[in-house]
A and B are shown apart, each in its own frame.
Chain A
Amino acid sequence: MNNKPKKAGMTLIVKTITRLTVGLILLFGIYIVLHGHITPGGGFAGGVIIALSFIHLMLAFGKDLALKKLSEAQASFFESLGAIMFLTIAILGFVGGYFFLNFFLDKGEPFKLFSAGIIPLCNVAICFKVGAGLFAIFAALVFLKIGSGEER
């Protein structure tokens, strides 16, 4: 009885389709975040979609390859970066006179991508925070599942 090393991940069909679509899902998430002030969506939905693209990679190829793309230290760095960016934009308003005041970016014309003051920056900060946080939660759950599976 020979011991073949267990192949991580799912079958070949799932891996091929994942290679084709995971980049598109990431791009779609970035589109929804950046156009948050023109079309429906915003930072929360876009952040969850970006986290879903990384989770798709982890489910199809196994956790080793997905953690090479975005390791746990990097995920923790991005989440803290998002939180600090949001707080900085909030406190910078104190220079102008009030919390969250917008004094350094003008409003622009409506329906353009670079308009609406600080709203796109806040959307990007929230996207970092939500996406990296949810990916860290899922990575921790998958690690524990494999750890307790060896016990039986």
Chain B
Amino acid sequence: MIIYFMCLILFCVGLYAILVKRNLIKIIIGIIITEYAVNLFFILVAYRSKGRAPILIPDQIVKNMVDPLPQALVLTAIVIGLAVTALMVAIAVRVYEKYGTFDITKIKRQKG
């Protein structure tokens, strides 16, 4: 129970960075931390105490394994997170080239 709560605190740290910070790179860092927290939460739900990894080994019958279904979902989610990060960084680089700053309040004031 406490461990789910700590995972949610990590999510809230990322959420605070998205909502309060003014630097565009800090907002991207907040989104990355939020993604890590959500992936971690999925794998925490899927853990079985004293379980084994879901890989079969020759000459051994394994009785209890951890849940493989959330692991399959999170595997694709990690790579999608990388693609979204790359897209955000590309947009941030373009914004810097046009406005000369990473500050979001100054970007809102200049119109085109």
A and B touch in the complex (CB under 8 A): yes
Interface residues of A (CB under 8 A from B): 39-40, 42, 44, 48, 110-111, 130, 133-134, 137, 140-141, 144-145, 148
Q: Separation in Å of the A86 CB from the closest CB of chain B?
A: 13
Task: Establish whether residues A40 and B79, one from each chain, have CB atoms under 8 Å apart when the complex forms.
Answer: no
Task: Establish whether residues B90 and A39, one from each chain, have CB atoms under 8 Å apart when the complex forms.
Answer: no
B29 partner residues in chain A, CB cutoff 8 A: none
B56 partner residues in chain A, CB cutoff 8 A: 110
CB within 8 A of B79: which of A111, A130, A137?
A: A130
Interface residues of B (CB under 8 A from A): 53, 55-56, 58, 75-76, 78-79, 82-83, 86, 89-90, 93, 97
Q: How far is the CA of A133 from the CA of B79 in the complex (A)?
A: 12
Task: Establish whether residues B90 and A140, one from each chain, have CB atoms under 8 Å apart when the complex forms.
Answer: yes
| Apart from the given pairs A44-B79, A110-B56, A144-B93, 10 other A-B contacts in the complex at a CB distance below 8 Å | A39-B55, A40-B53, A44-B76, A44-B78, A130-B79, A133-B83, A134-B86, A137-B86, A141-B86, A145-B93
**Chain B interface, DSSP helix/strand/loop, else mixed:** helix
Task: Establish whether residues B89 and A141, one from each chain, have CB atoms under 8 Å apart when the complex forms.
Answer: yes
Task: Establish whether residues B93 and A44, one from each chain, have CB atoms under 8 Å apart when the complex forms.
Answer: no
Q: How far is the CA of A130 from the CA of B79 in the complex (A)?
A: 9
Task: Establish whether residues B90 and A48, one from each chain, have CB atoms under 8 Å apart when the complex forms.
Answer: no
* Given A111-B58, A148-B97, A44-B90 contact (CB < 8 Å): no
Task: Establish whether residues A48 and B79, one from each chain, have CB atoms under 8 Å apart when the complex forms.
Answer: yes
B83 partner residues in chain A, CB cutoff 8 A: 133
A42 partner residues in chain B, CB cutoff 8 A: 75
Q: How far is the CA of A23 from the CA of B86 in the complex (A)?
A: 26
Residue of B nearest to A42 (CB): B75
Q: How far is the CA of A137 from the CA of B55 in the complex (A)?
A: 33
Q: Separation in Å of the A78 CB from the closest CB of chain B?
A: 17
Residue of B nearest to A126 (CB): B79
Task: Establish whether residues A141 and B55, one from each chain, have CB atoms under 8 Å apart when the complex forms.
Answer: no
Q: How far is the CA of A42 from the CA of B90 in the complex (A)?
A: 28
Q: Would you list 27 pairs from A and B whose C-beta atoms are within 8 A, ordered by A residue?
A: A39-B55, A40-B53, A40-B55, A42-B75, A44-B75, A44-B76, A44-B78, A44-B79, A48-B79, A48-B82, A110-B56, A111-B58, A130-B79, A133-B83, A134-B82, A134-B86, A137-B86, A137-B90, A140-B90, A141-B86, A141-B89, A141-B90, A141-B93, A144-B93, A144-B97, A145-B93, A148-B97
